[in-house]
């Protein structure tokens, strides 16, 4: 064999050996990345499942998982960063993007592991503060937020580094494994950003609301959402709650009728009710605190409640804010607190029966309502639940904070403050119950029961919204609100007394609803139809930056009814150069459950939908029909463009 052939074979063998070594190296890098990812995900899921109540063993396991993940991911990151072939590949047109993305994702994994370790340290800090210090939940909220600040600062810093690296990664053209990793990364970044924002807002809001700058007294409104009104329902009882440095200094409730039973003769002035309230319910009676939740914008309702209280009572008691709660608030809090006995009535209620028990006790048989102190029970119950919530022991703090967050998101805990600066903090936190100011389209469906029945316990509404967008970005909307009053099916097996209470006496067994649609202010109403027959709107006006379209209707027992509004919203879509965007914000009415909601979007002829997002999450297949519910506010973004 010639020497040239021998040299060629030797070079080939050497090349194959180098490829084998490098191949083994890349397999190790891949395995380290995969193992690191699995460790990171596992530790994260453990922390998510147990939350602030992680036991010592679980907390150690999570910390160890994050630290092990960091070791694997840091090794893979260093190997990718120092590998000559990866360095050489970085200069190539397409494969370079893959190599750079892989390096960035590995480095992001290291930062994520560090954030996990810091999150576990924050839980330890919380638990140490909780266990070592005395005091109730309301007293310890601010100290706990302050104690975990150093941990949050580190997480904030690491998140900034992650966001910077994420900005280097191209969104298109990545291989499937890398693309999937980037999608998951974006979801986690968004979730962590939201949690950090909530923490910052809570840190700013809590001291102000809880009286760390001086005692704060709140007017508490207990809404009966079995008789729905704009911000939750008719107000059965009212109370006063005072915080001083987080301590609960005062909490008492009374029947709204007790403010001044002789009013109006003993007070100056007559408060005119809004026309629908006067026409369908109050007639010659003046506006009282019971009806103060008429306005769907809670800051407006709260301001009016303070004014009505001062007028009705003839006093100028200082009031720093207003808190709104309803039966759904009590249900959620009782899930954490467990069964609660109202000693004055020797009655125990649970989250499953609190509404029905309250209706039965507050409507005693054989008496006329005005001859009894029937709402005393509601006052005692509200006082017991709120006091138990605010003074909950350390073992219930985590679950109670979670419950409070839920009722706030679902608009069943509303908060208003007379100080505009504090009110802005509350609004940023999302607990103000104010009408949302948004770009694009907007809808809020508001029911008001004006026949003195409790049929909102029975009647089930459904909302269907059909949107047709034209080439200029204008929208024609048809909003159909369907109601089912299945009283007979509901009352089967129910306590006969309860079944009778729900419909009142025979003359009140019709459900009477004043239905309002709040839509963009420049809306033009085309038609209102009842059961498919054109009927016209009863009222249209503007309020709080929204146009209001309204109609009163009656619904017999065991009947269904549909009310459909057709209207036009000009220039509602964002007309981009390549793709157009349609934004829709649907706001939930406080005091309602998860009303079914269906939204159908029709883009202009010749264009197609290229992406569909609901609450920031992209839906697979980019559907034009969205089926969801109004457990909380919903935000929809539709992008559409040319068919290609």
Tell me, rounded to whole angstroms, the distance of Cα 198 from its chain centroid: 12
Separation of first and last alpha carbons in the chain:
62
Model confidence pLDDT, tens digit, residues 66-117: 888 788 878 877 776 776 665 665 665 666 667 777 778 788 888 888 888 8
The CB density around residue 187, as the number of other CB atoms within 10 Å, is 13
For residues 481-504, average pLDDT: 92
Whether 506 has a pLDDT exceeding 90, the answer reads no
For residues 507-517, average pLDDT: 86
Q: Dihedral (C-alpha) 179, 182, 187, 188: value to the nearest 10 degrees?
A: 150
Indicate the pLDDT class of residue 175, thresholds 50, 70 and 90: low
Indicate the pLDDT class of residue 15, thresholds 50, 70 and 90: very low
Output the DSSP codes for 380-405.
Answer: HHHHHHHHHHHT--GGGHHHHHHHHH
> Which one, of 568, 329, 584, lies nearest residue 439 by Cα?
584
Whether 200 has a pLDDT exceeding 80, the answer reads yes
The label of the residue with tokens 């397409």 reads 94
Whether 373 has a pLDDT exceeding 80, the answer reads no
Most confident of 98-107, 139-148, 557-566: 557-566
Model confidence pLDDT, tens digit, residues 585-634: 999 999 999 999 999 999 999 999 999 999 988 999 999 999 999 999 99
Whether 563 has a pLDDT exceeding 50, the answer reads yes
Whether 35 has a pLDDT exceeding 50, the answer reads yes
Q: What per-residue string of b and e applies to 262-274 under the rule 16 or more CB within 10 Å gives b?
A: ebeeebeeebebe
Give the angle subtended at the CA of 455 by the CAs of 449 and 457, to the nearest 5°: 115
Whether 427 has a pLDDT exceeding 90, the answer reads yes
Task: Give burial (CB, 10 Å; 0-12/13-18/19+) of 319.
Answer: middle
**Inter-residue contact 69 to 36 (CB < 8 Å):** yes
> For the chain, what is the mean pLDDT?
87
Identify the weakest region by mean pLDDT among 32-36, 249-253, 314-318.
32-36
Strands (E), 256-396: 321-326, 340-342, 347-349
pLDDT for residue 133: 65
**Inter-residue contact 596 to 634 (CB < 8 Å):** no
What is d(CA 355, CA 337) in angstroms, rounded to the nearest whole number?
16
Pairing label, strands 441-446, 607-614 = unpaired
Whether 395 has a pLDDT exceeding 80, the answer reads yes
Most confident of 184-198, 274-288, 346-360: 346-360
Identify the weakest region by mean pLDDT among 75-84, 87-96, 198-207, 517-526.
87-96
> For residues 526 and 365, which has the higher predicted lDDT (pLDDT)?
526
Most confident of 138-142, 266-270, 575-579: 138-142
Tell me, rounded to whole angstroms, the distance of Cα 592 from its chain centroid: 13
pLDDT for residue 108: 82
Helix 397-409 and helix 137-147, axial crossing angle in degrees, nearest 10: 90
Phi-psi region of 366 (alpha: psi -120 to 50; beta: other; left: phi over 0): left
> Which one, of 378, 20, 372, lies nearest residue 12 by Cα?
20
Phi, psi for residue 117 in degrees, rounded to 5 = -60, -40
DSSP 8-state class, residue 279: I
pTM (two decimals) = 0.88
Whether 372 has a pLDDT exceeding 80, the answer reads no
Most confident of 13-17, 31-35, 268-272, 553-557: 553-557
> For residues 485 and 365, which has the higher predicted lDDT (pLDDT)?
485
For residues 19-28, average pLDDT: 51
What is d(CA 441, CA 450) in angstroms, rounded to the nearest whole number?
29
Tell me yes or no: is domain 216-429 CATH 3.40.630.
yes
So where are the chain's domains? 3-209, 216-429, 441-642
Pairing label, strands 347-349, 617-618 = unpaired
Helices (H) and strands (E) in the chain, counts: 16, 23
For residues 343-368, average pLDDT: 87
Tell me, rounded to whole angstroms, the distance of Cα 19 from its chain centroid: 55
Whether 568 has a pLDDT exceeding 90, the answer reads yes
For residues 185-203, average pLDDT: 83
Q: Which residues pair with 27 in a beta bridge?
A: none
**CATH architecture of the region 441-642:** Sandwich (2.60)
Alpha helix (H) ranges present in 83-94?
A: 84-89
For residues 2-18, average pLDDT: 54
pLDDT for residue 370: 43
For residues 357-362, average pLDDT: 92
pLDDT for residue 85: 60
Written as six digits, the tokens of 243 are 């915080």
What is d(CA 197, CA 203) in angstroms, rounded to the nearest whole number?
10
Residues 6+ apart with CB under 8 A from 517: 443, 444, 445, 446, 479, 548, 549, 550, 565
Helix (H, G, I), strand (E, B) or coil at 334: helix
Half-sphere CA count of 384, side-chain side, radius 13 A: 21
């Amino acid at each position: 064999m010639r020497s040239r052939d021998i040299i060629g074979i030797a070079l080939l063998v050497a090349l194959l050996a180098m490829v084998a070594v490098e191949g083994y190296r890349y397999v190790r890098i891949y395995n380290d990345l995969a193992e690191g990812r699995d460790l990171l995900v596992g530790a994260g899921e453990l922390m998510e499942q147990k939350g602030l109540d992680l036991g010592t063993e679980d907390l150690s396991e999570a910390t160890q998982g994050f630290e092990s993940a960091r070791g694997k991911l840091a090794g893979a990151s260093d190997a990718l960063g120092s590998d000559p072939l990866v360095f050489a590949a970085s200069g190539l047109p397409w494969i370079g993007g893959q190599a750079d993305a892989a390096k960035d994702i590995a480095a992001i994994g290291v930062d994520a592991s560090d954030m996990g370790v810091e999150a576990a340290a924050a839980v330890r800090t919380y638990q140490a503060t909780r266990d070592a210090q005395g005091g109730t939940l309301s007293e310890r909220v601010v100290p706990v937020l302050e104690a975990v600040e150093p941990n949050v600062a580190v997480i904030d810093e690491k998140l900034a580094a992650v966001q910077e690296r994420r900005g280097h990664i191209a969104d298109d053209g990545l291989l499937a494994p890398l693309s999937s990793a980037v999608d998951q990364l974006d979801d986690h970044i968004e979730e962590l950003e939201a949690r950090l924002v909530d923490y910052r807002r809570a840190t700013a809001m809590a001291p102000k609301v809880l009286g760390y700058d001086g005692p704060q007294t709140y007017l508490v409104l207990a809404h009966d959402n079995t008789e729905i009104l704009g911000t939750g329902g008719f107000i059965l009882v009212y109370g006063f709650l005072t915080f001083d440095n987080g301590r609960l200094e005062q909490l008492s409730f009374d029947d709204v009728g007790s403010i001044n039973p002789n009013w109006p003769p003993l007070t100056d002035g007559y408060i005119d009710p809004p026309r629908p309230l006067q026409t369908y319910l109050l007639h010659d009676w003046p506006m009282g605190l019971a009806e103060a939740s008429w306005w769907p914008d809670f800051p407006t309702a709260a301001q009016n409640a303070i004014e009505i209280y001062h007028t009705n009572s003839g006093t100028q008691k200082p009031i720093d804010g207003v808190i709104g709660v309803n039966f759904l608030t009590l249900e959620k809090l009782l899930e954490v607190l467990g069964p609660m006995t109202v000693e004055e009535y020797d009655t125990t209620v649970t989250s499953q029966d609190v509404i029905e028990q309250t209706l039965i006790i507050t409507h005693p048989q054989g008496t006329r309502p005005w001859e009894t102190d029937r709402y005393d029970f509601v006052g005692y119950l509200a006082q017991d639940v709120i006091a138990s919530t605010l003074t909950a022991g350390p073992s219930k703090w985590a679950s109670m904070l979670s419950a409070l967050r839920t009722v706030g998101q679902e608009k069943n805990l509303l908060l208003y403050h007379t100080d505009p600066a504090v009110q802005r903090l509350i609004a940023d936190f999302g607990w103000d119950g104010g009408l949302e100011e948004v770009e694009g389209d907007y809808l809020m469906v508001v029911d008001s029961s004006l026949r003195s029945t409790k049929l909102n316990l029975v009647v089930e509404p459904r909302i269907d919204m059909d949107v047709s967008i034209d080439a200029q970005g204008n929208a024609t909307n048809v909003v159909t609100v369907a109601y089912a009053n299945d009283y007979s099916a509901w009352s089967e097996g129910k306590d006969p007394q309860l079944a009778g209470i729900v419909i009142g006496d025979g003359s009140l067994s019709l459900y009477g609803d004043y239905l309002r649609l709040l839509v963009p202010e420049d809306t033009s109403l085309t038609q209102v139809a009842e059961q498919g027959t054109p009927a016209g709107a009863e009222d249209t006006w503007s309020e709080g930056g929204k146009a209001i379209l309204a109609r009163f209707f009656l619904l017999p027992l065991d009947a269904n009814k549909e009310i459909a509004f057709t209207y036009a919203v000009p220039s509602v879509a964002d007309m981009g150069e390549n793709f157009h965007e349609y934004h829709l914000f649907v706001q939930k009415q406080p005091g309602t459950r998860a009303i079914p909601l269906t939204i159908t979007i029709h883009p202009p002829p010749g264009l197609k939908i290229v992406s569909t997002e609901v609450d920031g999450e992209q839906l697979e297949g980019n559907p034009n029909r969205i089926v969801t519910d109004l457990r909380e506010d919903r935000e929809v973004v539709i992008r559409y463009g040319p068919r290609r």
